[in-house]
Amino acid sequence: MPAPRILVTGGAGFIGSHTCVALIEAGYQPVVLDTLVNSDARSLKRVACITGVEPVLVRADVRDAAALDRAFAAHEVRAVVHLAGLKAVGESVADPLGYYDVNLAGSLALARAMDRAGVRTLVFSSSATVYGDSHPSPIAEAAPHGPVNPYGRTKSMVESMLADLSRADPRWGIACLRYFNPVGAHESGLLGELPNGPPNNLMPYISQVAAGEREYLVVHGADYDTADGTGVRDYVHVMDVAEGHVAALHRAARRPGILMANLGTGHGASVLEVVSAFERASGRRIALRIGPRRPGDAPAYWADARSAWRTLGWRARRDLDQMCADSWRWQCANPHGFDDPVPALVPGAALFQNNDRGINIHSNRGHTHV
């Protein structure tokens, strides 16, 4: 039996490429649809190094109905994991129409194409940002939406559109995954996050300071009403997030209707706690300066992770120390990102295997290197 094919829109990006690894490990064959505007096709070579399987790449825009029809016709797709979209909050404030176009029109075009193709199992990449900043933590899925920027509103609107669709047509099985703060990298050091320019997000910024690429971290505010005064978030390992997609896919394929699930650990960590964990993982001191609060930042929030466990049988397994250790391994092994070489592979053979003895990079068939 050939492996069931899953269309992964945005599959060459940070979360997408890790999701491809998790899908392949679970016995699926990802078909990636990506414009590569914000990602790099070489991430899929790294997926092949880890798993022995390189996902097929369809270079196309998720708004392109004809390209979607061709992809569904060519690949006998069983289900879709939809991650393609724009995700920078500040950019969404400056260019709302661009965000509504890609995120909203893209999801609409995709849902229509799925319907035409008779593929009605969908996992949608949503965000904790749909909750806004007025809920006490931990935040459960039933908390009302209150997004505070155009990016968040696009995610909230797509969720509403999909809820309407599932009410109208019970053949659909849909899971919306609300990510908290995905960080880290694959434990092999072969796959990780590649920010475009100076990172906006905390973990990649710290990682570049540890590597000596940046002088110091600016802590955006140390006068919040939190234990140490710095912002608190629910950081979740990207491989846990990736595995959450597989769990959601199983659920959506089995059960019609729509499900919302938080992907978080259920615990918050402050900026200073993340800095300390990264210092432990890297053995380097992270220089920092306290700056003003960043406009739009909430002081503290974290997930109520119980529903994801109940409904998906998923919970985060990797802790903050592992998130930092894996980020650091990726940073050290790839100072030039995907420009750094990886050993050549025999097609179909994996370079990485995580076994009981720890983390190894080696052949799983004895003849991987050529």
Task: Cite the active site residues.
Answer: 151
Strands (E), the chain: 5-9, 29-34, 56-59, 77-82, 121-127, 173-179, 181-183, 217-220, 232-233, 235-237, 257-263, 269-270, 288-291, 352-355, 358-361
Whats the size of the chain, residue-wise?
370
Quick one: which of 297, 309, 311, 359 contacts ligand UFG (CB under 6 A)?
297
Contact 55, 32 (CB under 8 A): yes
The reply on whether position 127 binds ligand UFG by CB under 6 A is yes
Contact 292, 154 (CB under 8 A): no
The reply on whether position 271 binds ligand UFG by CB under 6 A is yes
**Interactions with ligand UFG, residue window 176-195 (CB under 6 A):** 181
DSSP state of 292: P
Stretch that binds ligand UFG, among 48-56, 96-104, 196-204, 312-320 (CB under 6 A): 196-204
Stretch that binds ligand UFG, among 107-115, 123-131, 279-287, 316-324 (CB under 6 A): 123-131
Cis previous bond, 138, omega within 30:
yes
The reply on whether position 276 binds ligand UFG by CB under 6 A is no
Cα–Cα distance, 104 to 101 (Å, whole number): 6
Quick one: which of 43, 129, 154, 208 contacts ligand UFG (CB under 6 A)?
129
Smallest separation (angstroms) from ligand UFG to the CB of 369: 37
Contact 141, 260 (CB under 8 A): yes
Cα–Cα distance, 76 to 119 (Å, whole number): 9
The reply on whether position 205 binds ligand UFG by CB under 6 A is yes
Backbone angles phi, psi at 283, to 5 degrees: 70, 10
**Interactions with ligand UFG, residue window 211-230 (CB under 6 A):** 217-220
Quick one: which of 202, 258, 324, 345 contacts ligand UFG (CB under 6 A)?
202
Quick one: which of 233, 250, 318, 329 contacts ligand UFG (CB under 6 A)?
233
Smallest separation (angstroms) from ligand UFG to the CB of 258: 20
Residue numbers at the binding site for ligand UFG (CB under 6 A): 87, 89, 127-129, 151, 181, 200-202, 205, 217-220, 231, 233, 271, 294, 297
